[in-house]
Amino acid sequence: MNSDIAVIFDMDGVICHTNPFHSLAFREFFAVRDLAPSDEEFAEHMFGKSNSYILSHFFKRPVTGDELLELEQEKESLFRKIYEPHIEPIKGILDFISDLKDHGVKTGVATSAPYANLDLILSKIDIREKMGSILASEDVKKHKPDPEVYLRSAANLGVSPEQCLVFEDSFSGVSAALNAGMYVVGVLTSHTKDELPPCNSYIDDYTALSYDKIIQLFNK
């Protein structure tokens, strides 16, 4: 049994491949405001970014306070409506999490998404009971690339940052995990290796992963 290490998962692009559906929701959201961002702009300024950053970037002005909450609610409820019929886990992740739990590894989720999105996904993908820490955007003051969400996850799981391995798919997410002093596996659902900061390892999905494989990352 190995309870002295922890594996922490981001959600969007890591547990589920949600980003295409976030793009659809944002396209609809922006279209009614006569804005039409390109795919390149989305890749650079949406994936892994907080809603305050995304909205401020595309509206070309700071979006904060009550306005931010209102717009965020509109966009995220749009996302949930579009995504709900399509929810499925990334290939191999459920078996991988079961293997980790069989070996006594602590696990958590740390997402920049709001709780409502997390709850929707966890209502369809049965991993909530396996997670010793679940944090969403409402739980932190500073968003990724700030390490707050990962440092809080480690504290919740009772391990030090260097005992943690994080699965992330975005530049800001990988940066947050590295800033926290953790090992990182880059999940290549939204970006290529070249578009992410250097990670300890990279995967397309979880089919080839196991407890034994990740232990090797800690021992390198």
Q: Does residue 213 sit in the same domain as residue 128?
A: yes
Written as one string, the DSSP assignment of 34-72 is T----HHHHHHHTTT--HHHHHHHHHTS---HHHHHHHH
**Predicted pLDDT at 3:** 61
Q: Does residue 106 sit in the same domain as residue 193?
A: yes
Which residues, in sequence order, are bridge partners of residue 8? 108, 166
Catalytic hit among 4, 10, 39, 204 = 10
For the chain, give the percent of residues with pLDDT over 70.
Answer: 99
For the record, the structure tokens of 158 come out as 């009772």
Q: How confident is the model at residue 164 (pLDDT cuts 50, 70, 90)?
A: very high
Q: What is the CATH classification number for the domain harbouring 25?
A: 1.10.150.240
Q: What is the CATH classification number for the domain harbouring 140?
A: 3.40.50.1000
**pLDDT 10s digits, 35-52:** 999 888 888 888 778 888
State how many domains the chain has: 2
Is residue 119 included in any domain, yes or no? yes
Strands (E), the chain: 6-9, 106-110, 133-135, 164-168, 183-187, 201-203
**Predicted pLDDT at 1:** 45
Whether the pLDDT of residue 103 is over 90: the answer is yes
**Predicted pLDDT at 29:** 97
Which residues, in sequence order, are bridge partners of residue 106? 6
**Predicted pLDDT at 2:** 54
Active site residue 169: no
pTM exceeding 0.85: yes
**pLDDT 10s digits, 52-102:** 899 999 999 999 999 999 999 999 999 999 999 999 999 999 999 999 999
Catalytic hit among 12, 66, 194, 212 = 12
Q: Does residue 74 sit in the same domain as residue 111?
A: no
Note down the domain range covering 77.
19-85
Which residues, in sequence order, are bridge partners of residue 168? 186
Active site residue 12: yes
Is residue 1 included in any domain, yes or no? no
